[in-house]
Structure 1
C-alpha cells in the first residue's frame, strides 16, 4: 500500500469515528432532553413499623428538614409571587425497601381561605388539592388517563381534605386515582384501598368547611407504587424499591380560592414543567437515597436548574 493510500485510509477512519461520535452525542442529547433536568432526593425510611398513618408528623423525626419540598422550591403558573400568609406548605416524601416496600408522604398545608366544593373526586382539581403524578419505572410516555394504556403506564393521584361519601370513594378516603377515561374504569379503584393505599388527614380548626379562613391541614399516606397497573394486584407489577433508583414523580399544589372562580395558585417544583400530569417525561426525577447519603444532597432550589424547563412551564 502506498503512503497516499495509507493517509486516505487513516483519514477515512478518523472521519467515520467523528461521524459516530456525532450520532452518539445526538442520541444522548435526545435522551436527556426527554427529562426536565431536576433531581430530588427521595429518602429511605429507617423503620417503617415506627410510622403510624394518622396525619401527624411526630414519627417523621428521621427526615432531614433540608430535603423537604417547600413553597420556596416551587414556581407558580398563576402568579409571579406567593405570599406565605396566603399559601404555604411543607412536604416530606420517602420510601422503604422490601418487605415493607412502600411510598410514604407527609404534607402540611396552610391556606388563607379553604375552597372545598366538589363531592365527585373527578372534580377535585377544581378545589384546594394536592396532585401527584407517578411513573415509578421511569419509562416515560403519556399518563393523561384518556386511555387504559395511559392509566397502566403511570398514575395521577389527588389528595383532598373533607372527602365525602361517593361511589368512587367507598371508604370516604382522602386519596383518589384520577382518570379521564369515559366511561370511568372502576377496575383500577382497588389500588386506592388498604393495604395498597392508606391515607389520613387532619384539619385545624377541626370544624373548618368551605370558605373557612386561615386553615392548616395535613395528609399522610403509605402506598404501593405500580410499574404496571392492572385490574387487580395479580395483574399488576408492583414497584420494588432499592437505593439508587430514579423514579418520575411530580408534585403540584392547587390553591383554588381566586376571587370569583378559578385557581389562585398552581405550583410545581422549580425546574419542572406544567405538563407533568400529562407526560411522564416532563416530571422531575426522584432518586432513592439512604439516610447516610442524605447529608450530601441538595434540593433543586439550591441547584443550578431553578427555572421552569421551558417557556410554557410557567
Structure 2
C-alpha cells in the first residue's frame, strides 16, 4: 500500500522562495508507484495543501491532516524541505514530535542548536573542532568597534546569527563600514556573530544517514566569483562548485573526519551540509545546514550523485530512515 507523504515547503524566513523550489523538486522526484505525495505550503498566515490545479485546502493543525471533498487524508511521513524558520530551527520538529509524526529532518534540539550559529559553534569547541575567532552582539548592545576589530581583525564577516542562504551577511574591510554591516545583519535577526576572515579553500561536506549508517559524501570545493559565497554565488551562478574538491589526501581526510565527528557528536539524523575553510592546512567549521538545498543543482544532490546516489534514491532513503 502506498504511503502518504506530506512535502512541507515555504516557511517564514527570507529563504521561502528557495524552499518552494526544493519542495517542488522533491514532489517531482519521489516515486509515484510507492508514494502519494502532497505539497504543503507552510506560511505564517496559512498552512495549506496545494493540489495540481493550485487549489488550496487548509491543514488541520490538530493532527496535520487535510480534508478534500469530504475525504480526510492523514500522512505516514513528512518530507521537510523548509529552509529557515520554522522548518530548520526546531519548531516544526517539536510540533511533529507532539503529534507523533515521522519526518525526514533531525530532531528538535539539533535543529534549534545548528540554526543558532553562536550556540552551535560554542557547543563543538570543547571537542576540538576548530572555528574562526568570533564576537557576539545582541540588538541593543553598546557597540565598541575598537573591541570588535581588536578581537576578530580586518577583514571580518558580520552575520545574522539565525539566518541562511547568506541573508544578512557582509564582508567588512574598513572600520567605517562595520556599523553599516551590523545594521544589515540586525534586519535579519536580533543576534549577530562577527567572525575573523579565514583566507583559504572553502569546502562543503554533506553527511547523511544512509541505509542506517552515517555516510560522508564527496567533498565540494566552493570557488565564488564574488568576494565570498553570498546569495548571488549560491543561487545565481556566480560560483564554481567542484566535486570532488581539489584537496590533498591529508586535507580531505581531516575535513571528512571533522564533518563526521560533528554529525555524530550532535546525534544528527537526516541531511546535513557543513561548511569549512582551511587555514594552515586545518579545516575550520563555519556552520551546518540541516535542510540544505535539494534541487539537482544544489550542492548536496551533486555530492550524492558523485557517490552514485540518484536524487530519487536520496529522497527515498530519507523517507525510509524516517519511517524506521
- For normalisation by structure 1, the TM-score amounts to 0.27
Task: Looking at secondary structure, tell me which structure has more helix per residue.
Answer: 2
TM score, norm. by length of structure 2 = 0.26
Which structure has the greater CA radius of gyration? 1
Greater relative contact order (Cα < 8 A, sep 6+): 1
